Amino acid sequence: MIRICRRGSLTVEAALTLPVFMTGLLTLVSSLYMCLLSQKIQASLLLASERMAVAASDGGSADIGDAKAFLAEGLSEADVRFIYNGIDGMDLSGSEICHNEYINLKLFCSLVPFSDAFGIIKIPLERRCLTHIWCGYDRGYFGDGEYVYITEDSKVYHCDRNCRHLMITVRETSPGEIATVRNESGARYRPCEHCHPKLSDEHLYITPQGDRYHNQITCSGLKRSVRRVRKSEAEGRRPCSRCGR
Ligand SMILES: [Zn+2]
Ligand SMILES: [Zn+2]
């Protein structure tokens, strides 16, 4: 009889303790997850503001309305489930672009812990992020501080952005002439692979440095994009005969 009584009390004890223990464990895990989620939201907000800062640079336009889409991209479906009202529940209405110089994102939302089975608890979260609109690298940003200019199609680097060799001079020629003209290096001109010029075309365009002839002045083969890079990135190229050192 005594034995039966003891067993019964143990079962009652376990029945009372286990739910308390499980609730405590769930609350702990839930709290840790909420901390992690708030950090993820902050990281996504930073990412959103950086993307807007780049979009707004070089005379581009940044729209605060884009911020929410950028923000959502940084969060998974599972993350959004624990934000009250999901993506719609993220309020960015206090955000602004200040003097066309800074992007100031202000986010308000509420987190819903998964330990709250009744949906009563809402943890308010406020996050801010202030980012300068991207304006290029600072001088000396890379430490070695020395920059040069390169083009994709050349094995030369330039120290002067205004070097004559970086400028492109387009000359017009005629189909009758093209077989006899030579470029700066004395090579013949061949038809461009982009604009497919024919000898029946009325106008042909060439550059003294290039070795292709074109029938469209807007052809991408006639454009030259110049990049500013660290000198160490121009390794394998020789200095320009005019401005290099
Ligand atoms: Zn040069
Ligand atoms: Zn062309």
Q: How far is the CA of 151 from the centre of ligand 1 (A)?
A: 11
pLDDT for 145 equals 62
pLDDT of residue 7: 57
What three-state secondary structure class fits 190? strand
- Quote the ligand 2 centre to 4 CA distance (angstroms): 97
Q: What local confidence, expressed as pLDDT, does residue 239 receive? A: 92
What is the DSSP code string of 42-75? HHHHHHHHHHHHHHTSTT----GGGHHHHHHHTS
* Residue 3: predicted pLDDT: 54
Q: State the CB neighbour count (10 A cutoff) for residue 127.
A: 18
Span from the CA of 115 to the centroid of ligand 1 (angstroms): 67
Phi and psi angles of residue 187, each rounded to the nearest 5 degrees, phi first: -90, 155
What is the whole-number distance in angstroms between the Cα of residue 221 and the centre of ligand 2? 5
Please enumerate in sequence order all residues whose Cβ is within 8 A of that of 239, keeping only pairs 6 or more positions apart, or say none: 156, 157, 159, 245
Q: Starting from the CA of residue 166, give the closest ligand.
A: 1
**pTM of the prediction?**
0.51
What pLDDT does residue 170 have? 83
Closest ligand to C-alpha of residue 218 is 2
- Check residue 180 and give its pLDDT: 92
Check residue 117 and give its pLDDT: 67
pLDDT of residue 36: 92
Q: How far apart are the CA of 243 and the centre of ligand 2, in A? A: 28
Residue spans of the chain under pLDDT 50: none
| Nearest ligand for residue 162 CA | 1
What is the radius of gyration, based on Cα positions, of the chain? 33
pLDDT at 63: 78
